[in-house]
A and B are shown apart, each in its own frame.
Chain A
Amino acid sequence: MLATGVLAGLLISKVLSKKENTSLMKNLGRTTLALTYILVFIIGLRTSQVLPDVLMKGLHVVAAVLAFSAIPTILSFAISYIMLRS
Chain B
Amino acid sequence: MRKEFICIECPNSCKLVVDIENDKVVNVTGNKCKKGETYAKCEVENPSRVLTSIVLAEGLEIKMVPVRTNKPIAKKLILTAAEEIKKIRINNSVKVGDIIVPDFLNTGADLVATREVRNE
A and B: interacting chains: no
